[in-house]
Structure 1
Amino acid sequence: MTITHFLKEAEWNNLIQNEKFEYVEKVSQDRLNDLNIQRCLLLCSTRKDSKIPYDKHQWSQSQKGSLPRHQPVYKKMMIQGVTAHSIRCTNVNNLEFRKDIVHVGNVTYHHYFLTEQGVYREPEEGETKKPRISDDTAVRVRNLLKNGTAQDVYEIAQSEGLQVSKRQCHNQLRHLREPSGSDSGGRVVKKKKKEMTMEQLDLLKTLFPDEVTLYRDDNNALNYEIRIFSSGKIDQTYQVEQTDYQYDGVEEFSYEDQMQDQIDIKQEPIEFIDGVPDYSDSLMHYPKFDLDCL
């Protein structure tokens, strides 16, 4: 049976009901090469976590410069009495090479086909899509990322034989809400989170008392958070006045000037005793005077 178009709901149900799909562990290049003879392949496999099972071919592409956005189309259908989606894919590098997929229970059904005069070819260098990171590998990478950078984790993953790329390690950062201590397999990795001393934090709390917060994570490790989002206009006049002031390292302090600013001193009449001025009480009012000057 050769079907070189995206399957409709009735066709899916009929083919599944009549067991027209060949079971395979995975879709191999050797099997796909048969497309140039058969023009159509009906395969099924055990369902994995990925919506679009890996087969080395590129079925989607984000918009990059002049390259348009290229994404699969999802069609809602009723398959074997269950609501499902037919995922209709067109190859990014070979528009006449297509496939559609449905997931029913723990089984994934694949329909590969070539349209018109299309010819199947294996992906060239630079066209091969890297496999998705497995769930177990993703969990291991995320645990390592809690205590290290993406580069550190990539090197550890390679030493452990994990199939993961640098980009995939970096992408796992989006799944981490806040870094905290965790099992790193006994390896020492760089801290992802910048560390500060309590003295530095105390200084920041002095400057920004409402912006610095200390908290403990799930592992009872002390963490900090600084929120400083401030903007405003610079007072140019104040800035000029400060610029004109030259500080030579020695600050002259005038007690007389200080007292003059703080106390409004009033002149009182001087009393005379036997024709001689009596300054005994005056010294209480004029602390700037010295007995030696009398």
Structure 2
Amino acid sequence: MKNLLFTLVLLLCPFIINAQEVTETNTDILYQKALEHYKNEEYQKSLQLTNRGLELAPKYHDIRILQIRNLWAVNELSKADDELEYLLTEAPEYADLKPLVYRRINLFTNNTGALDYLKMAEIIYPADKGLQVKKAQLLIAEGERKKAREIAMNLISSEGLTGAERYDLQIILNRSVSDEIGFTYQFINFSKDYSRTDPWHTISAEYQHNFDRTAVIGRVNYSNRGYDDAALYELEAYPVFNDRLYAFTNIGFSNGTIFPDLRSSLSLFYNFASVFEAEAGGLITRL
């Protein structure tokens, strides 16, 4: 009886194995299972399935894209670059490929490496405006204001830009100006039924100089409120230390009763967890 059961098991094993092999060669099933593991952050399990899928179907681009994401997740950047290079060579216009290029640029820990990679991407996607916007942002971060401004000026009036891209270009144009001068005038008039009928006049003039990571502003405010007038002199600075930490500092003094005799403040801002910002600082005022 035991020999008979053993014989039956031996006869059934090939069918069981063949059934398993048929499942494993179904690349769509492999992809779906690998994607499920990836979503559950089980990257090594997902990699086993994407590796098998690429053995069976090297031109299954969705599997290779998932392979790249898995390799990024386990910090295998060099292997991911090889896979990405394959796709850029074989299928540069594949719909889901370009977002990977943007993601790869963002993964660089230094702007020089990101700019070098972007030069390669420009050859493949010469008409992509988003890459040009990204290039201008990287140049600004590297202190190359003139080059960044040239790109922004050429792009800002182009058609086909998204609202976010136009906003980024405007920021680049603002940051790429070394010197700015501004004037403002404010007029406030009161109703005849109000006890104070003299209008108020306020004039402000300011000069701003942008250093590599710091904007410094000098400002003079003159206000005439009928019963009194005064001038307020201010100096402000906006130093940016890195992509998470920046500061604001201000000092101002006045020669009249409308403004405080002395006002000074300092605030530090820190971005964390992508969506939160912490602020610490203080204010000194003397009337």
TM-score, normalised on structure 1? 0.26
Higher relative contact order (CA 8 A, sep 6+): 1
Q: Higher helix proportion, which one?
A: 2
Q: Higher strand proportion, which one?
A: 2
